[in-house]
Homo-oligomer: A and B are copies of this chain.
Amino acid sequence: MLGLGHRSETVHRSNLSAIVRELHEHGPLSRSELGVRTGLTRSAIRVLIGELTELCLVGEGTAAALGTPGRPSSLVRPNPLGAIVLGIDVAVDSVGVAVVGLGGEILHQVRIDRPRGRISVDQTVADLVELVNVVWAKAPGREALVGIGVAVAGLVRRRDGLVYIAPNLGWRDVPFGAQLSEALQATVPLTVANEADLGALAEHRRGAAIRAENLIYISGEVGVGGGVIVDGRPLAGVAGYGGEVGHMPVNPNGIACRCGSCGCWETEIGEGALLLRAGHPPGGGRGEVDLVLQEAAAGVPEALNAVDNVGRWLGVGLAILVNVFDPEVIVLGGLLGRLHPLVLSTVEAELDRLALQASRGLVRVVPSRLGGDASLLGAAERAFEPMLSDPFGWAGVRTAPIAASA
């Protein structure tokens, strides 16, 4: 924060951070573009690029700009193998692991489906260690590992990564970060966060909401989660439990929610609500959802009615969020992303009816671009944070890789 005083010795690190962050978030840039974006002088840029090249974090080369006449300009590029992270996603019915390089390139990725329902923490840790070994076996340059990020379908305490509750996994008060870190014998920071918060971060950096500084990501599957970015910064709340839009009490006449409350948004727009109204077993999972979508496409009235109900309640909840946040983009992920083309006109009509004209006119409702990988990629982005904030300091830790052979 600019509000803090700067010792002159920290300025240098801060400048290195600025360069690496620009390259990581925006991709290759010319030196002059870097100067414009960071406010640094030409000579400062030259010195800093030199240092970052020595740290193997950036490289320089000419751009192969097809169709552009004239001499190709030299671009500074993030080195994907100069710093890598592990992204890990613990979803309700699958777990995924990815190795992501600086600049956002996915180097390796693997995901396995798991049965829905209560899967123990120990089993999950064992599954993840196995998956990490799989991607590790193929990963080049694992000595470049700088962090591990983990997305969990539950409420996660920001301070220490404690999973306060993950109802669809059946977890409560689980020190998951500590447990996984130990099992992976990790020697780099491991951070745990809510899946939708991380999905918002990924869609912001790499997906459907690039360039939007104010956005809301809503991910509907078994549960409905949300992540919010305000002026470019993730909203966490005092303990990290913010963004729980799925449990906004939107319907005073609504049904009981698994959270213990009544009339939560999730009870109207979640998978269970869709299936129940369409006459399918509410716990039926993805296969049943596919059937409902097929029926809706075929014009089956019950299915159409179920989809329409989701659309209307989606509009009501989004009207609340539009008036509260005045966002530029709302990104619908998971089930809601699949429903997007079917419900958009209903949602737009409800927003016209219920949201303040001033904010309503500024917002677009779009489907996720990253789909099922949003949380995984967001976890990777979060894992880069400490390194991006102090690339120089992090260069030191790259001698101690994690040993995932436990």
| Chain A residues within 8 Å of B, Cβ to Cβ | 1-8, 10-11, 14-15, 17-19, 21, 38-41, 44, 155, 164-165, 212-214, 226, 228, 230-231, 233, 235-245, 247-253, 259-262, 316, 319-321, 323-328, 353-359, 362, 389
- Residues on B with C-beta less than 8 A from A41 are 7
Given A1-B2, A238-B326, 20 further pairs, Cβ under 8 A = A2-B2, A3-B18, A4-B18, A4-B38, A6-B11, A6-B14, A7-B41, A228-B324, A235-B325, A238-B328, A238-B362, A239-B358, A242-B326, A243-B324, A244-B324, A244-B356, A249-B316, A250-B250, A261-B354, A324-B324
Given contacts A5-B39, A389-B2, contact A356 B15 (CB under 8 A): no
B238 adjacent to A327 (CB under 8 Å)? yes
- Residues on B with C-beta less than 8 A from A354 are 249, 261-262
- Residues on B with C-beta less than 8 A from A228 are 324
What are 25 A-B contacts with C-beta separation under 8 Å? A3-B21, A5-B38, A5-B39, A5-B44, A6-B6, A7-B39, A11-B11, A155-B356, A165-B358, A213-B238, A214-B238, A226-B324, A230-B233, A237-B327, A238-B327, A240-B326, A243-B324, A243-B326, A248-B323, A249-B316, A250-B320, A252-B252, A252-B253, A261-B356, A262-B353
CA distance A10 to B39 in the complex (A): 10
CA distance A240 to B6 in the complex (A): 30
- Residues on B with C-beta less than 8 A from A231 are 233, 235-236
Given contacts A155-B358, A245-B324, contact A17 B44 (CB under 8 A): no
CA distance A228 to B323 in the complex (A): 12
A164 adjacent to B328 (CB under 8 Å)? no
- Residues on B with C-beta less than 8 A from A323 are 244-245, 247-248
Nearest B residue (CB) for A242: B326
CA distance A199 to B68 in the complex (A): 53
B252 adjacent to A237 (CB under 8 Å)? no
User: 6 shortest A-B CB distances, which residue pairs?
Assistant: A237-B326, A5-B38, A5-B40, A242-B326, A5-B18, A241-B326
A39 adjacent to B4 (CB under 8 Å)? yes
CA distance A146 to B320 in the complex (A): 37
Nearest B residue (CB) for A13: B2
Chain B nearest CB, measured from A302 CB (Å)? 22
